[in-house]
Amino acid sequence: MSLSSKLFAAAKQVIPGGVNSPVRAFRNVGGEPFFVRRAKGAVIEDVDGRLLIDYVGTWGPAILGHAPDVLVNVVHETAKLGLSFGIPNPWEVEMARTIVDWVPSVQKVRMCNSGTEATMSCLRLARGFTGRDRIVKFHGCYHGHVDSLLVSAGSGALTHGRPDSAGVPAALAALTTVLPYNDPEAIEAFFAASGHEVAAVIVEAIPANAGLFLPKPGYLELIRSLTTTHGALLIFDEVMTGFRVARGGYQEICGITPDLTAMGKVIGGGLPVGAFGGRADIMDLLAPDGPVYQAGTLSGNPLAMAVGLTQLRELEKAHGWQRLEETGARFEAGIRDICNEIGRPLTFNRIGSMFCLYFNEAPVWNLDDAKKGDADAFRRFFHKALELGVYFAPSPYEAGFISLAHGPLQIDDSLDICRTAIRHALG
């Protein structure tokens, strides 16, 4: 029995499902999860000594690669000054200044500890600002395990076949309206009938928790127009896309200005972090200045702030977004070449360093399209790639992530393995 199997058996005795986040359990692909001993650059090593090229990247934060020396050194130096204060520190001020400078819509920002906290706080703030209760979200968009948002969610909830969580009061779920993504007629009809009830529309800037699909031209612009007309707020969830697809997130690319933005992942450099920000008049409703309460003992933690700031500066200094686009384009071209060789036009969606290979031959624009994929083929692909040395997310409903540590050698090796794995998956 492998050491990973022994650890998983032990974990199941003391941790629900043996994991601390559901998608890690491999339920959607079968088999058992492996346990990681260490990670460096684009490679992870499991406890049994197996080396894998990693395209999960801590689910997004490891944009420089795993354990880059510059971040490890900052952890060491900052830790000498204290692990946590619960008192304002200089790093959180500099982080806030950086976010305000980089993200077009953010005039003020508050730090928290996770993407879930960020989206939860955005909803409370939107309700407090508008005096309304109704929230609108979209099928397959996952915004963390917030009660109001675990309705037709993606990510782990979708993977386990229960998009609605037990334990969410029906009365609270009733305040959330779920609409199909990329369907302009549906949202226009809803706002025509009920726009006066809506506190906010929350949307992943690029939906990346049911794989990865892109907004159709004009769709986000329509949402912005409808929310403005009806006095509702627009919340961009950029926990994944923020600081990854561009310096200012996807809103820099699309030119749309949301009222509030939820952020996380990249700004922590691998440490737990979240943030939310937006228009000053909305943010000023937060306590202690306003009546909307939000707090956190570890918010603005000095280690997370120092590491996150360093990661952002390294990205900028290294022309990171241009390099990530080039690497992503190289990987995409290789996958498309493989599909052409095999004669199967599988769907590959990508923006910058985020991607998803669907075992669908039709375009994927929304959750319904994503669910038409060949789940058995994905399982075969996943396990063959893992066997040969490449780790993708253990679910067809998750995005992949490329880092600056993925050089031409890792990409070419990965493509060779993908060629074999795709052929194996398709029989």
CB atoms within 10 A of CB 362: 11
What domains, with CATH codes, occur in the chain?
3-67+319-426 (3.90.1150.10), 69-316 (3.40.640.10)
Is residue 158's pLDDT more than 50? Answer: no
Q: Please give the full DSSP string across 260-288, using - where no structure is assigned.
A: EEEEEGGGGTTSS-EEEEE-HHHHTTBTT
On average, the pLDDT of the chain sits at 94
User: What pairing do the DSSP bridges indicate for beta strands 36-40 and 43-46?
Assistant: antiparallel
List Cβ<8 Å contacts ≥24 apart for 49-52.
50/389, 51/389, 52/386, 52/389, 52/390, 52/391
Query: 3-class DSSP state for residue 74?
Result: helix
The 10 Å Cβ neighbour count of residue 342 is 13
This model's pTM is above 0.85: yes
**Per-residue pLDDT tens digits for 331-351:** 999 999 999 999 999 999 999
CA dihedral 77, 78, 82, 86 (to 10 degrees): 180
pLDDT tens readout for residues 370-421: 999 999 999 999 999 999 999 999 999 999 999 999 999 999 999 999 999 9
Q: How far is residue 190's CA from residue 177's CA, in Å, rounded to a whole number?
A: 9
Question: 323, 247 in Cβ contact below 8 A?
Answer: no
**Alpha helix positions (H), 103-218:** 115-130, 155-159, 170-173, 184-194
| Residues forming the active site | 142, 237, 265
Does residue 286 contact residue 275 with C-beta atoms inside 8 Å? no
**Tokens (6 digits) for 385:** 């790639």
| pLDDT tens-digit series, residues 278-324 | 999 999 999 999 999 999 999 999 999 999 999 999 999 999 999 99
